[in-house]
């Protein structure tokens, strides 16, 4: 694994010492947020994780190696090369071997970040919103690789639900089919990213990080491979009106269809249009939920670390062939 995996010394030391670590993705830096908000937010997320007593591990592919833990220069590099045609590649599961073999750079999506976190031995990952089933899937078959990764890779993903541009009911149906538990953190309803909820139920409610940790422990102790989705509502003060969001999403999706924008270009286009259509309100909401998710993830990581010590169990089931640190 050393040919492709480089763990930052601080992160590796924390893992070996049994301290809590939170994985963080890099597509929000290169593709998700505009400059300079992208760098400011990435650094603020890391600071939030540290304030809650955990070590942040932002993940990306740089020079053909999976880097688990970045410094400020790395983050600036991702921000500068992410925009424009020919910019840094958006890396999901299928892209990892290509980018690594080419010695190239890549910003990791939810799926690729989960893979890297699992390889490094990190149990908890914080992001904004997962990918899911796109609207119009009946004709496009556009389903994010994030859902398949959640079905197979044993990492807890703390998020504000699925991105608002998606078909949320179908996304939840897909997760149910794949056996992925969906936990509402402090809520009985599935958060709707920019809005607190749209009436869709979750599988269970957990009101504390310790409760979430017990779910992770039970799942992985049973050798039930796959992730757990921890869905956290956006802070009330930052939430947008659900109908305003829905109207903006419908308009953005229609414009994407008119311009034949699809594949990896679709999500960045829709997020940019939402920012424009909401007068910047969606960007402020996105930043608020990212910081909130990071805080919850750090608490969950700390609670799970304590539980592992109390039960003297490894992070992963004994049958795993992945490296443990």
Answer yes or no: is 44 within a domain: yes
The pTM assigned to this predicted structure is 0.89
**Per-residue model confidence (pLDDT) at position 99:** 96
Query: Distance between CA 150 and CA 82 in Å, rounded?
Result: 26
What's 228's DSSP letter? E
Catalytic residue among 25, 46, 149, 275: 25
Using the predicted structure, report yes or no on whether residue 32 has a pLDDT greater than 90: no
**Which tens digit of pLDDT belongs to each residue from 276-317?**
888 888 889 999 999 999 999 999 999 999 998 888 655 554
**Per-residue model confidence (pLDDT) at position 316:** 52
Under the banding of pLDDT at 50, 70 and 90, the label for residue 81 is confident
Answer yes or no: is 145 within a domain: yes
- Of 123, 92, 125, the residue nearest 106 (C-alpha): 92
**Per-residue model confidence (pLDDT) at position 64:** 95
| Count of domains forming the chain | 1
Chain centre to alpha carbon of residue 321:
24
Catalytic residue among 90, 163, 219, 275: 163
Using the predicted structure, report yes or no on whether residue 85 has a pLDDT greater than 70: no
Answer yes or no: is 324 within a domain: no
Answer yes or no: is 281 within a domain: yes
β-strand partners of 57 = 23
Q: DSSP string of 30-83?
A: IIIS-TTHHHHHHHHHHHHHHHTT-EEEEEEEETTEEEES--HHHHHHHHHHSS
Q: Residue 268: which domain range?
A: 5-311
Task: Tell me the two tokens of residue 147.
Answer: 């859902």
Tokens 């929000």, residue located: 28
Query: Known catalytic residue: 163?
Result: yes
Strand (E) or helix (H) holding 294: helix 281-311
Using the predicted structure, report yes or no on whether residue 174 has a pLDDT greater than 60: yes
The CATH number of residue 64's host domain is 3.40.1790.10
**Per-residue model confidence (pLDDT) at position 139:** 80
**Per-residue model confidence (pLDDT) at position 6:** 96
Higher pLDDT, 172 or 311: 172
Q: What would you report as the CA-atom Rg of the chain, rounded to the nearest whole angstrom?
A: 18
What totals of helices (H) and strands (E) does the chain contain, helices first? 13, 11
**Which tens digit of pLDDT belongs to each residue from 119-137?**
999 999 999 999 999 888 8
Answer yes or no: is 320 within a domain: no
**Per-residue model confidence (pLDDT) at position 83:** 53
**Per-residue model confidence (pLDDT) at position 242:** 83
Give the chain's mean pLDDT.
90
Query: Known catalytic residue: 262?
Result: no
Strand (E) or helix (H) holding 136: none
Answer yes or no: is 117 within a domain: yes
Query: Distance between CA 164 and CA 255 in Å, rounded?
Result: 16
The three-class DSSP label of residue 21 is strand
Answer yes or no: is 323 within a domain: no
**Which tens digit of pLDDT belongs to each residue from 198-212?**
789 999 999 999 999
β-strand partners of 91 = 108
Answer yes or no: is 56 within a domain: yes
Please name the residues in contact with 261: beta carbons below 8 A apart, sequence gap of 6 or more. Answer: 269
**Per-residue model confidence (pLDDT) at position 317:** 46
Task: Tell me the two tokens of residue 29.
Answer: 């830096």
**Per-residue model confidence (pLDDT) at position 166:** 86
Mean pLDDT of 51-59: 98
**Which tens digit of pLDDT belongs to each residue from 136-149?**
888 878 889 999 99
Name the percent of the chain lying above pLDDT 90: 67
């Amino acid at each position: 694994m050393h040919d492709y995996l480089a763990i930052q010394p601080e992160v590796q030391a924390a893992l070996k010492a049994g301290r809590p670590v939170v994985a963080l993705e890099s597509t929000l830096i290169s593709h998700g947020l505009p400059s300079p908000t992208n760098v400011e937010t990435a650094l603020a997320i890391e600071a939030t994780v540290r304030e809650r007593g955990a070590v942040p591990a932002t993940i990306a592919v740089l020079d053909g190696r999976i880097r688990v833990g970045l410094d400020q220069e790395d983050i600036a590099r991702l921000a500068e090369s992410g925009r424009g045609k020919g910019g840094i590649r958006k890396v999901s599961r299928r892209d990892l071997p290509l980018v690594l073999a080419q010695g190239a750079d890549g910003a990791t999506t939810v799926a690729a970040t989960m893979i890297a976190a699992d390889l490094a031995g990190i149990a908890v990952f914080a992001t904004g919103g997962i990918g899911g089933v796109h609207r119009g899937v009946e004709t496009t078959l556009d389903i994010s690789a994030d859902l398949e990764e959640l079905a197979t890779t044993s990492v807890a993903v703390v998020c504000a639900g699925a991105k608002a541009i998606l078909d949320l009911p179908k996304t939840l149906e897909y997760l149910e089919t794949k056996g992925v538990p969906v936990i509402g953190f402090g809520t009985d309803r599935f958060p709707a990213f920019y809005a607190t909820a749209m009436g869709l139920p979750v599988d269970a409610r957990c009101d504390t990080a310790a409760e979430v940790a017990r779910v992770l422990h039970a799942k992985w102790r049973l050798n039930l491979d796959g992730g757990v989705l921890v869905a956290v509502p956006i802070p009330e003060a930052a939430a947008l009106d659900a109908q305003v969001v829905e109207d903006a999403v419908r308009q953005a999706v229609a414009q994407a269809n008119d311009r034949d924008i699809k594949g990896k270009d679709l999500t960045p286009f829709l997020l940019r249009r939402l920012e424009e259509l909401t007068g910047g309100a969606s960007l402020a909401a996105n930043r608020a939920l990212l910081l909130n998710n990071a805080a919850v993830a750090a608490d969950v990581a700390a609670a799970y670390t304590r539980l592992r010590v109390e039960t003297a169990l490894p992070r992963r089931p004994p049958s795993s062939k992945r490296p443990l640190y």
